[in-house]
């Protein structure tokens, strides 16, 4: 059951094989699989597989009826539990919203805001009506579509439990409203061990595609990455090095200066991205990749996940992780000011021959 729910590619292949096997056993297995909650593509594949076997006379009408769950009083669509997440910011700040059906026609809304340390800046649970739900969501988004993205309930449970683990490690009490919300949520969805993005994208395929990592700097030009910066405290020593280089009285070519600047950026990436910071940004990028994929931006999602996967490894001076290098460069340059920009503009006016001679334009 956990394999069926967590590994969509395996399940689809399994269902396809069963649908091509003309036997009563295959029919029974497919009918059992229909009773397990699964992703929409899996449910669709199950129906198609049973239909193929039905055309071969292997599925009777009675068997089809038995395979469908009996719901005496179906819950209206708007009474379903739902979850949303906001786009992660560069330091890790993000929001989560959960809507749970309450007694009668009411709802319980849980609103959580995560701070850069990964704990709750705010956690609030309120009771409201259907109109109250809409009003609250409109207030949180300013009425702008795309600021909150719907995510699977099981993934929201994972996010909440990640925060709870930090509280446990620090031996701090959780907000008072957390336990009842978590208990209610845990009664509806099973615990998962990995972020939902790995159910949607093929980790192995992405990790083995070097182009994704090399082109990942392009992410810094799109939302939500356009505002990402590294914390000021992490980059100050490298900001100082860049300033000293630009203010040096030693006369060197602009190209040589740019080469030394690029070397400083690589040194900064290798030193700044400790195992702890790599794990921090890995989770931010996994969450962003999920939201990118859910909003039909698959190529950007793959690039973001490629960077996240690469952060399992130490950042070296020869890294091809151009997103991380670009983030370091942007963060330092924003502190240095126009000095670096001027050097870059000047470098574009130079041309270098094959022998390395610099020719000013």
> Of the given ranges (37-46, 249-258, 314-323), which has the lowest mean pLDDT?
249-258
pLDDT digits (tens, 9 = 90+) for 113-154: 999 999 999 999 999 998 999 999 998 888 888 899 999 999
In this prediction, what percent of the chain has a pLDDT beyond 70? 85
> Of the given ranges (51-55, 126-130, 181-185), which has the lowest mean pLDDT?
51-55
Rounded CA separation 108/361 (Å): 67
The stretch 349-361 carries a mean pLDDT of: 35
Residues, the chain? 361
- Reading the block at residue 41, the tokens are 């593509």
pLDDT digits (tens, 9 = 90+) for 235-275: 999 999 888 877 765 656 677 778 888 899 999 999 999 99
Q: Check pLDDT > 70 for residue 345.
A: no
The stretch 2-29 carries a mean pLDDT of: 86
Rounded CA separation 53/47 (Å): 10
User: Residue 51's pLDDT is what?
Assistant: 83
- Reading the block at residue 357, the tokens are 């001679």
Average pLDDT for the chain: 84
Rounded CA separation 275/293 (Å): 27
- Reading the block at residue 89, the tokens are 């910011």
Q: Check pLDDT > 70 for residue 340.
A: no
The stretch 158-177 carries a mean pLDDT of: 94
- Strand-pairing partners, residue 99, are 82, 109
> Of the given ranges (12-16, 66-70, 107-111, 326-330), which has the lowest mean pLDDT?
66-70
Model pTM above 0.85? no
Q: CA 359, 360, 361: angle at the middle one, nearest 5?
A: 115
pLDDT digits (tens, 9 = 90+) for 272-305: 999 999 999 999 999 999 999 999 999 999 999 9
User: Residue 306's pLDDT is what?
Assistant: 97
The DSSP code for 230 is -
Q: Check pLDDT > 50 for residue 67.
A: no
- Reading the block at residue 262, the tokens are 């690029």
Q: Please list, residue by residue across 163-173, b when 16 or more beta carbons sit within 10 angstroms of its beta carbon and e when fewer do.
A: bbeebeeeeee
């Amino acid at each position: 059951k956990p394999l069926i729910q967590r590994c969509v590619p395996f399940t689809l292949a399994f269902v396809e094989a069963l649908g091509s096997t003309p036997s009563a056993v295959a029919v029974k297995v497919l009918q059992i699989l229909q009773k397990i909650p699964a992703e929409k593509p899996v449910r669709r594949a199950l129906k198609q597989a049973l239909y193929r076997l039905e055309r071969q006379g292997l599925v009777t009408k009675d068997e089809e009826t038995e395979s469908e769950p009996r719901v005496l009083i179906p819950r209206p669509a708007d009474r379903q539990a739902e979850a949303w997440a906001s786009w992660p910011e560069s330091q890790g700040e993000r929001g989560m919203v959960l809507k749970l059906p309450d007694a009668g026609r009411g709802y319980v809304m849980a609103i959580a805001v995560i701070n850069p340390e990964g704990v709750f800046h705010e956690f609030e649970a309120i009771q409201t009506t259907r109109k109250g739900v809409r009003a609250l969501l409109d207030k949180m988004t300013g009425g702008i579509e795309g600021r909150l993205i719907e995510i699977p309930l099981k993934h929201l449970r994972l996010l909440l439990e990640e925060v709870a683990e930090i509280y446990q490690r620090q031996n701090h009490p959780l907000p008072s409203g957390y336990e009842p919300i978590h208990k209610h949520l845990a009664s509806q969805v099973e615990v998962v061990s990995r972020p939902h993005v790995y159910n949607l994208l093929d980790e192995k395929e992405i990790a083995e595609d070097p182009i994704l990592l090399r082109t990942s700097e392009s992410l810094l030009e799109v939302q939500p990455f356009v505002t990402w910066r590294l914390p000021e405290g992490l980059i100050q020593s490298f900001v100082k090095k860049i300033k000293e280089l630009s203010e040096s009285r030693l006369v060197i070519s602009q190209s040589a200066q740019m080469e030394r600047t690029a070397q400083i950026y690589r040194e900064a990436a290798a030193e700044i991205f400790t195992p702890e910071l790599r794990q921090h940004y890995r989770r931010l990028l996994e969450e962003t990749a999920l939201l990118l994929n859910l909003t039909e931006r698959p190529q950007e999602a793959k690039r973001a996940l490629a960077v996240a996967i690469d952060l399992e490894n130490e950042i070296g001076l020869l890294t091809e992780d151009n997103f991380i290098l670009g983030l370091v460069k942007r963060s330092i340059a924003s502190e240095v000011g126009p000095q670096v920009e001027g050097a870059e503009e000047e470098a574009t006016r130079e041309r270098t021959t094959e022998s390395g001679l610099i020719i000013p334009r």
